[in-house]
Structure 1
Amino acid sequence: MLDFHYVELTSEQATDTLLLFHGFTSTHGTWLPFMDSWSEAYRVIAVDMPGHGQTSILDDQTMDRFTDDIAAFLDEHDIDKIKLLGYSMGGRAALSFACRYPDRVSGMLLESASPGLRTAEERLARQQQDERLASRLEEEGVSQFVDFWENIPLFETQKSLPDSIQKAIREERLSQQASGLAQSLRTMGTGKQDSNWDKLDSLKTQVTLVTGAYDRKFVGINQEMEKQLPAADLHIVAEAGHCVHVEQPRIFDKIVRRYLLHVEADILEES
C-alpha cells in the first residue's frame, strides 16, 4: 500500500469527509486556499498523488492499484463514505475510484476531467506521447520540463493571471522530482488507464462537472459525460481555461460549496 502524504483540516461540526485529488505536476498545496471554507462542515483531506509532492510511486503502479490503496487509506482512517473532488488527472482518478468503489462515494465533483480514451488505438498513441514526455523529464530535468509544460496550449489562459499566482504555480511544479513525474506518466497517464466511458451510466451518485469556457476540448468531453451520467450537472465557467480553481477561484469555491457540499452560497455568474 502506498504511504500517502496528506494534509487534513476539520471542525467540530464536521460529520462527513471530503477527499481531494490534484492534477499532474501539482500537490495537495493547490487546495490549501479552499480548505478553510470547505472544512466548515466537512473533514477535508488533500493527498499528494503518486509520484507527486511527498508521495512515492510504485514501479508497477496502476490506476486500479491507486484506487485500492485509497480504499485501504480510508479503512485505516475509519472513513466509510466520502465526497470526492478531483482536478484533471485527479478527476480521472476520482472517477476511477467511484467506478471501482461506488458504495464508498456519496457525491463527486470533477474539474476538467475525462473518463479516459475510448479505443485501444487512442490509448496506445497516448502512451507513446507520454513516454516521450517521461523521457524528456529524465533527460532534461524538472526545470526545463516546466519551462516547456507551462507553455503548452492547455495552460495558455494562465498567462493572464497575476504574476504572484503564476510564480506560485511554477514553484509548485519545480518542487517535483523528475523520476516521480515520469513514472506517473508511464503508469497513471491517460494512455495507461482503462476507459470508464462504458461505466458512466452505472454511477448512481450525484456528479458535478466543472469546466472552463475557454477549454473547448474539455467542454465537449464534459457535455458528453453529462448526457451519459444518470445524475449530473455541468457548470461551464466563463473566463476560465483548464484550471478553473486557479483562474476563477471564487466561483469555483461557491460551486463546490453549493453543489457538492450543500452549503448555502450565492453562485456568481458562470457563463
Structure 2
Amino acid sequence: MRLKVNNITYHVEVCGEGFPLLLLHGFTGDSSTWTPFCPVWGKHSKLIIPDIIGHGETESPEDISLYKIESAAKDLILLMDQLGIEQVDLLGYSMGGRLALTLAILYPDRVRKLILESASPGLRTNEERLQRRMKDAELADFIKDQGVVTFVDYWEAIPLFSSMGSLPDSMKVSIREQRLSNNAKGLANSLLGMGTGSQPSWWGKLDLIGCEVLLLTGEKDEKFCKIAERMAEDMRKASWIVINGCGHAIHVEQKEKFGTIVSDFLSI
C-alpha cells in the first residue's frame, strides 16, 4: 500500500494476523528483506513492513533534513497513526536497528518489545561522529558520481559482509538485484541524513528503555558483538543472543534459526 506522511509517499507491505510487528530493513534494503518471514511470523503477528525513506518504492526527496533519524522515526509514528496502531513490537536490522532504537527512545509508549539485529546506539564522541560524517559524505559523493551499480559492487565487498560469500549463488543474485533497485539520490541522502555519524549518540539513553529488548548478533561479526555486550550492560531488560555460523546479516545467513528466535521472544 501507499501512505502519505510528511509529504512523503511511503510504500508499506502488510501481512499476517495478531499484535503488530513493525519491521525495519537495513541500508540498501527494502521491505522484501522481511516478506520471506510472513509465513512464520504472520501466524502470531501482523507484520507492518515499510520501505524506509530513500529506499525501495518509498520516495527519495531532495531535502536531507527529512532523512534525519529523528524525522524518520516520527514518520513511522505517523504511519502507525494512519493504520490505527497504538503500539507495536519493533524489529530493526543494522540501519533499521538504529532507527528502531531511536523510535523506542523517543516514543517509549508506542513500543511493547524491541528486537535489534546487528545494531548500535551510534558513536559516543563528537570526534568519532565528525570522522564518520566525513566518510559518509565521501561515500555519498561516490554514489552520486559513480551510480548505484558501481556502489553496490563496492558495498558487497566490504568486510562487514564477508561471511555472505558462502551463500548460494541464487541468494547472492537476489540480494544484489534488490540492492540495485534502489536509486542513487535516496542512498546518498540516507547516508548524509541517517548515517551513524549524523544521528545522536543514544549510549546515555539506553537505561531509559523500559520494554523488553532482545539483542541479536552473529558470532563472526566481532564489532557488533562487542557493541551488543556493552548495550546489554546499559539496558534494564535486555537479553543478548549470539548466533553461530553467521556474520552481520543473521536473517539471511541463518534464516530459520533467526525466525524461531524472534517468534519465541514475541510469544513469551
Aligned to 2:226: 220
Check if 1:262 corresponds to 2:261.
Answer: no
- Per-residue displacement from partner, 1:178-210 (whole Å, max 9, x unpaired)? 111000000011110001111101111000000
Cα deviation for residue 36 of structure 1 reads 1.6
Q: Contact conserved, 2:60 with 2:185, CA < 8 A, in 1?
A: no
- Per-residue displacement from partner, 1:119-154 (whole Å, max 9, x unpaired)? 111111000000111000011000011111100000
Q: 1:91 aligns with which of 97, 116, 124?
A: 97
- Please give the alpha-carbon distance, in whole angstroms, between the structure 2 residues aligned to 1:4 and 1:113: 23
Aligned to 1:69: 75
Cα deviation for residue 254 of structure 1 reads 0.6
**In the alignment, residue 176 of structure 1 is paired with which amino acid?**
N
Aligned to 1:39: 42
Give the TM-score, by structure 2 length.
Answer: 0.95
SS in 1 for 2:48: strand
Aligned to 1:137: 143
Check if 1:104 corresponds to 2:110.
Answer: yes
Aligned to 1:123: 129
- Please give the alpha-carbon distance, in whole angstroms, between the structure 2 residues aligned to 1:175 and 1:36: 24
Check if 1:182 corresponds to 2:185.
Answer: no
- Please give the alpha-carbon distance, in whole angstroms, between the structure 1 residues aligned to 2:143 and 2:73: 26
Written as runs of structure 1 = structure 2, the 5 A alignment for 1:6-85 is 6-11=12-17, 14=18, 16-58=19-61, 59=63, 60-61=65-66, 62-85=68-91
Cα deviation for residue 39 of structure 1 reads 1.1
Written as runs of structure 1 = structure 2, the 5 A alignment for 1:164-243 is 164-243=170-249
SS in 2 for 1:164: helix
**In the alignment, residue 99 of structure 1 is paired with which amino acid?**
I
Report percent identity of matched pairs: 45
Aligned to 2:3: none
Q: Which runs of 5+ in 1 are unaligned?
A: 264-271
- Please give the alpha-carbon distance, in whole angstroms, between the structure 2 residues aligned to 1:191 and 1:57: 20
Cα deviation for residue 3 of structure 1 reads 2.4
Q: Contact conserved, 2:12 with 2:49, CA < 8 A, in 1?
A: yes
Give the TM-score, by structure 1 length.
Answer: 0.94
Q: Please report the RMSD computed on the Cα atoms of aligned residues, expressed in angstroms.
A: 0.9
Q: Contact conserved, 2:251 with 2:259, CA < 8 A, in 1?
A: yes
Task: Say how many residue pairs are matched.
Answer: 259
- Please give the alpha-carbon distance, in whole angstroms, between the structure 2 residues aligned to 1:197 and 1:17: 27
SS in 2 for 1:3: strand
SS in 1 for 2:157: coil
